[in-house]
Amino acid sequence: MKLSDLKTVDQLIEERREKDAEFREIWDSTAFARQVAIIVVRYRTERGLSQRELARLTGLQQPAIARLENGETEPRLQTLAKLTAATGLSFHLDVVRGGVELVPA
Amino acid sequence: MKLSDLKTVDQLIEERREKDAEFREIWDSTAFARQVAIIVVRYRTERGLSQRELARLTGLQQPAIARLENGETEPRLQTLAKLTAATGLSFHLDVVRGGVELVPA
DNA sequence: GCGTCCGATAACGCACGCGTTATCATCTAA
DNA sequence: TTAGATGATAACGCGTGCGTTATCGGACGC
């Protein structure tokens, strides 16, 4: 087997998403949490902050930051607001057709 | 006292908001809930729906609709999503500087 | 080795939005 | 006046995100 034959993680996910209805439902419903995760991780790592430091800045706790960055939980609006208060981050959300989408920039 | 000397509700609120720091904090932090309330009430009344009918459409309950329309609670993203699923409503949110703002249209 | 910091994670409780049910005063129509 | 529908609200429980504390393995420097 050639290395180029290996499937990417995204390909594997997409394949299962198409085959498994239950998986698709769960995956899609947590899309927003994963998008938030990416933003938080990027912000923190670009500034060389630890989770504990970001927690102190935002008034959150280190385990809460970890859960957000792992996309484990759907954050509350209040939590997103805390993130933006001390960081300069901002989140633009479109709630439409039963879903929550994060609008880039 | 002339009728024109009567202060509007908005004027009374603004005056207290400037004088009372605690009141201002609570009032501003619930601004988003009140904005959502206006949208829900308008949507429902324009179509001549009862709270129970809107509840059935959205999968929520009549008391939940009432609480939303009275601005008593800060709705969850999941709840806003339910509202948009069956109604065609949409919510555009800006989470910035520690607050949640509802973007018109 | 040893101490330190890291992120991940478990356990427990709390806060709060919503489900569920029931009730209330008010209004309108028959 | 009576019957039905409306919105408001109380009571109780549940789900879940976060606070809080503690702990874990792993990486790094001394």
> Measured between alpha carbons, how far is B104 from B81 in angstroms, rounded to an integer?
17
Distance from the Cα of B4 to chain A's closest Cα (Å) equals 40
Give the model confidence (pLDDT) of B85-99 as tens digits: 989 999 999 999 999
> A81's torsion region: left (phi>0), alpha (psi -120 to 50) or beta?
alpha
Nucleotides in chain C with any atom closer than 7 Å to protein CB: 5-11, 16-22
Range list of β-strands (E), A1-105: 90-96, 99-103
Looking at residue A84, its pLDDT comes to 96
> Measured between alpha carbons, how far is A14 from A40 in angstroms, rounded to an integer?
24
Estimate the share of chain A in helix, then strand, then coil, as percent rounded to the nearest 5: 65, 10, 25
Per CB-CB distance under 8 Å, the chain A contacts of B80 are 95, 100
Residue nearest to nucleotide C5 (CA to C1'): A50
> Measured between alpha carbons, how far is B92 from A103 in angstroms, rounded to an integer?
10
Q: Say if the Cβ atoms of A97 and B85 lie within 8 Å.
A: yes
| pLDDT value at B57 more than 80 | yes
Write down the pTM of the prediction.
Answer: 0.89
Cα separation of the two ends of chain A: 41
Question: CA–C1' span, A104 to C11, in Å?
Answer: 37
| pLDDT value at A9 more than 80 | no
Distance from the Cα of A100 to chain B's closest Cα (Å) equals 7
- Average pLDDT value over all residues in chain A: 91
* Region A73-82 average pLDDT: 96
> Measured between alpha carbons, how far is B56 from B52 in angstroms, rounded to an integer?
6
- The A-side interface with B (CB below 8 A) comprises 32, 74, 76-78, 80-86, 90-100
> Measured between alpha carbons, how far is A90 from A46 in angstroms, rounded to an integer?
16
Residues 6+ positions from A72 with CB-CB distance below 8 Å = A33
Give the model confidence (pLDDT) of A28-64 as tens digits: 888 999 999 999 999 999 999 999 999 999 999 999 9
Per CB-CB distance under 8 Å, the chain A contacts of B77 are 32, 74, 76-77, 93, 95, 100
